[in-house]
Structure 1
Amino acid sequence: MKSNKTSAFLIAAPKSNSGKTMISLALMKTLVNRGITVQPFKCGPDYIDPMYHTKIAGRTSYNLDSWMASEEHVRSVFEKNIPSSGVAVVEGVMGLFDGAQKDKGSSANIARLLNIPVILVVDAASMAYSAAPLLFGFKNFDENIALAGVIFNKVSGESHYRFLKEAAEDAGVESLGYLPRDERLLVKSRHLGLLLPNENNQELFTTAAELVAKHIDIDRLLELTAKTEKTAPANPPKQDKKLAIALAHDEAFNFSYAANIDAMEQLGTVTRFSPVHDKTIPAADLLWLPGGYPELFARQLAENTTMQQSINEFIEQGKMVIAECGGMMYLGKEIIDENGKREKMCGVFNISTSFENKKLHLGYRQINRDDFKLKGHEFHYSNLIQHEPSSINIEVKNARGIPVEMPVLISKNCWASYMHIYLGEEGKLEQFLAKNFGEDWQKKSALTDQKKEQI
């Protein structure tokens, strides 16, 4: 049954691996099954969870990250995208108060910023009445957080749930139901997180939605999280710059922030293409190679020599290229897998990427180049070998301002790094292009301005 009201809430947990993603997706699926419009969001820099959100909700999921972007931008993205009638579901990150520095950038930070209630997911697999002090602490730690209710996960049955419900009542937190322990709800993952949506069995979300509909009070959830007002910010004026952007998007390259794509579309047209399957890149002024899993498709990428030739010709023409993480790996000489097998890549940069001695590189990153600051996130297991340091003075720091090693390659009109950059804020992409591509971006801007004057 469709609703004429708007609800908004954030799904959080005391810690990671409590079941936030499963319950978020199951709730989205249940609401969609009711004919309710669902607008998903994801706290933090994750790029895989939003793919699942988008597939289930049928609406693009946006990242809400108060470390990578300003609070004004986060509010704007949220208010601009929530439906006039429907439900905004925000999936949290890590534990409720876990942020880059204390709770900066945490789910709690986002909940306060957006003034939306929190639904806490508690893994109750080995818990009963001890849930009471846990819930009491989360309810009372921060008076600016509205803990609207709790959903228990991995509950063994109705008897177990009665203990948990009593604990919640004594803590002053309303229990909205539970998701039972069920082996059918296992979500497969790999080293960067969940498997991609097309790799996981979608039936598990149908099963989860059926269990949610049976064991969770959806009507009460919507009642507790009803949103009384929606202040839609003004959309930024459409730029009259017809920049042609070729964006790699396939099973090997698909880690793109939705707000980045919005920013691209403000500057012109975005054409998606596949380095795995297509023979050449589409006509473009800017080539954008995002992150993904190129190592899983290294053989196909190596065999597609016409695409590699097309990219090299594009670069030889002096056109602009942005390559993030997997995109940078693709522009190197080769990718080396865990067993030492080598696959030839584009050879634009004199680098090789190896998975032989995998090491986790994880965290927020800020790149400082003169007066220009660029924020993003690094998350990979591969190592860069045989690389030459950049000749440009660049400083890289983590969220705490501590210098870290992360090569940034700038040459041949290409910008490449392991960092997944966030350029969703208004004007940020233009600033980035002007700083890194200087005359080429200015020439392109001048040409479009001339066309505008002629019209």
Structure 2
Amino acid sequence: MQSHLLIGAASSGSGKTTFTLGLLRALKNRSLRVQPFKCGPDYIDTRHHRMAAGSPSINLDRYMMSDQHVLDLYARYTAGTDVAVTEGVMGLFDGYDGMQGSSAEIAGMLQIPVVLIVNAKSTAYSVAPLLYGFKHFNRSIKVVGAVFNFVASENHYSFLKQACEDAGVEALGYLPKRADVEIPNRHLGLSLDEDFCFEEFADRVAELVEKHVNIDRLLELTTVSESIHSPLERKQGVWHLPLRTAVARDAAFNFVYEENIRYLHSLGEVVYFSPLKDSSLPEVDFVYFPGGYPELHLAALSANKPMLESVRRYAEGGGRLLAECGGMMYLSDEIRDKDGNAYPMAGVLHQSATMENMKLRLGYRTLLYKDFRLKGHEFHYSRLAEQKNPLPSCAVAYTAKGVETDTPLYRFKNVLAGYTHLYWADPAGNEWFTNYLYGKE
């Protein structure tokens, strides 16, 4: 017997992540085998999931992934587990185009029961029509219960329970309004600061979930007698030689999709290095610089001259290197902080990245590169400073709705770099990646 649930909400800011982390830790504390998932392209929530549950969190995304890949991932990672917990994105029905790409679409596709997290701040019985609407709006989505957040008192919860009864949605409990269960925010998603005491936070929320939420009933409502899907037999590619990959991983670079890294492991050995602390790149066939928070470590990154020189020599010597967002910034001549102070970087790409006048850029991206369609997501506050002769983009970028946009992809020798966090683990759409890795372009 397994429990499968998707944690959805009426809107962002309802407390999905806080409740998800508390539930994951509470289930782990019960010695249950828990598998977390995240709807959409988020790479910060998944890291928190892993810390709370003790197992890697996997993205499920119907824009970046084929349907078969989503089915395969869910089946493969839920096999042998007791509970699968999927955290939704934004509001339950919010997608990149109507309901397309929404949490509800994932719930319907995978037949996952939905537990709604409802922001109860400044409301009571008025949640009844909201709950009724979410339960009946789309019959392919099975809303089995509700948990309320920011509840002021037991008396407040009594009104919310009455609303649930009249709306036909079971009340499963609540989280009280408390300042010490709020996750601190950075300018880019949830904080991953080393000084944030995550373990204490997760235990604190788990204690509240155990006390105020009927976990046993939640698991009962979401239990199925057999796996929702059977894993597909994976077809292994045939490579001429195994690849050795180096992945940048430290406090400055850590925004990765778990399945991307798993795919690299399938091609050969994967080693890790720190642009903050190490003095040179390891001997490898391919280097991956993911995004992260380089802007929070500018002095240390710039002061590590041996690593900067090692990266520059590798790139200029024709080494294969993929850099995304913060990784691309690291390859630039310099990064300027929000006050305009410049910090020299690797100098592979002759441009300046800056945090001055920060403005959010986000959304799904499709990059037309040669004869391929690269899928990914853009999310950043930095920008590239204007210059007389900007580097030309080697791809044409489009939004999820097919509108051309100016998101660049740069090519220097065998270096690919851009703002898009690319997904390459789906066999149905990663020919561009394997061709690039093996020099078959």
TM-score norm. by structure 1 comes to 0.93
2:111 equivalent among 111, 115, 135: 115
TM-superposed CA distance for 1:357, in Å, is 1.3
1:189 to 185, 190, 193: 185
C-alpha separation in 1, matches of 2:352 and 2:99 = 37
Aligned AA (1:53): H
**For residues 411-430 of structure 1, what are the structure 2 equivalents within 5 Å?**
411-426=412-427, 428-430=429-431
* 2:375 match: secondary structure: strand
Q: Counterpart of 1:378 in 2: which secondary structure?
A: strand
| Residue in structure 1 matched with residue 121 of structure 2 by the alignment | 125
> Mind listing any 5+ residue stretches in structure 2 that lack a counterpart?
none
Cα shift at 1:389 = 4.8
Q: CA deviation at 1:85?
A: 3.6
Answer yes or no: is 1:162 the counterpart of 2:146: no
Q: 2:287 matched to which residue of 1?
A: 287
CA pair 243-94 structure 1, distance change in 2 beyond 3 A: same
Q: 1:307 to 1:416 in 2, by over 3 A?
A: same
What SS is found at the alignment partner of 1:75? helix
Kindly tell me the number of residue pairs found equivalent between the two proteins.
Answer: 436
Kindly indicate whether the alpha-carbon contact (under 8 Å) linking 1:263 and 1:426 is maintained by their aligned counterparts in 2.
Answer: no
CA distance in 2, matches of 1:92, 1:342: 39
- SS of equivalent residue, structure 2 residue 349: coil
Once the two structures are superposed, the pairs formed by residues 80-119 of structure 1 within 5 Å of their partners are 80-119=76-115
Q: C-alpha deviations, 1:79-106, integer Å up to 9, x for none?
A: 1001424111000000000000001110
Shift in Å, 1:262: 1.4
Q: Give the C-alpha shift of residue 433 in structure 1.
A: 4.1
| Corresponding residue for residue 208 of structure 2 | 211
Trace 1:175-186 onto structure 2 (pairs within 5 A).
175-186=171-182
Q: 1: distance between equivalents of 2:351 and 2:206?
A: 46
Which amino acid is 2:171 matched to?
Answer: S
1:394 equivalent in structure 2: 395
- Please report how far the alpha carbon of residue 113 of structure 1 lies from its aligned counterpart in structure 2 after TM superposition: 1.1
Q: Take 1:85 and 1:335, find their aligned partners in 2: how far apart are those partners?
A: 44
Distance 1:289 1:366 in 2: 20
Letter in 2 for 1:401: G
How many Å apart are 1:278 and its aligned residue?
0.7
Distance 1:200 1:104 in 2: 35
Deviation, 1:6, is 1.2
2:46–2:57: 8 Å Cα contact kept in structure 1? yes
The answer as to whether partners of 2:359 and 2:382 remain within 8 angstroms in 1 is yes
Partner of 2:234: 235
**TM-aligned CA deviation for residue 346 of structure 1:** 0.2
Shift of 1:207: 1.2
Residue by residue over 1:236-265, the C-alpha shift from the partner in whole angstroms, topping out at 9 and shown as x without a partner, is: 326554101110011000001011111111
CA distance in 1, matches of 2:336, 2:5: 44
Determine the structure 2 residue equivalent to 1:226: 223
Give secondary structure in 2 for the equivalent of 1:190: coil
**Cross-structure match for 1:277:** 277
Once structures 1 and 2 are overlaid, which stretch shifts more, 132-141 or 307-316?
Answer: 307-316
Any residues of structure 2 matched to 1:10-409 within 5 Å, and which? 10-196=6-192, 198-202=194-198, 203-230=200-227, 231-237=230-236, 239-240=238-239, 241-386=241-386, 388-389=389-390, 391=392, 394-409=395-410
The one-letter code matched in structure 2 to 1:335 is I
Whole-Å separation in 1 of the counterparts to 2:193 and 2:214: 27
Q: Distance in 1 between matches of 2:238 and 2:370?
A: 27
User: Does residue 441 of the first structure (1) align with residue 434 of the second (2)?
Assistant: no
Shift of 1:316: 2.5
| CA–CA distance in structure 1, aligned partners of residues 314 and 271 of structure 2 | 15
**TM-score normalised over the length of structure 2:** 0.96
Q: Between the two proteins, what is the percent identity of the paired residues?
A: 46
Shift of 1:429: 4.2
Residue 20 of structure 1 and its aligned partner are, at CA, apart by 0.1
Runs of 4+ aligned residues of structure 1 deviating over 4 Å after TM superposition are 386-393, 427-430
Structure 1: segments with no counterpart, 5+ residues:
444-455
Native 8 Å contact 1:390 1:408 kept in 2: no
Q: Distance in 1 between matches of 2:14 and 2:124?
A: 15
Query: SS of the residue aligned with 1:377?
Result: strand
- Greater mean alpha carbon deviation, residues 19-28 or residues 354-363: 354-363
Mapped partners of 1:171, 1:164: distance in 2 = 10
- Partners of 2:393 and 2:182 lie apart in 1 by 47
Q: Contact between 2:394 and 2:408, CA under 8 Å: does it hold in 1?
A: no
Determine if contact 2:117/2:146 at 8 Å carries over to the other structure: yes
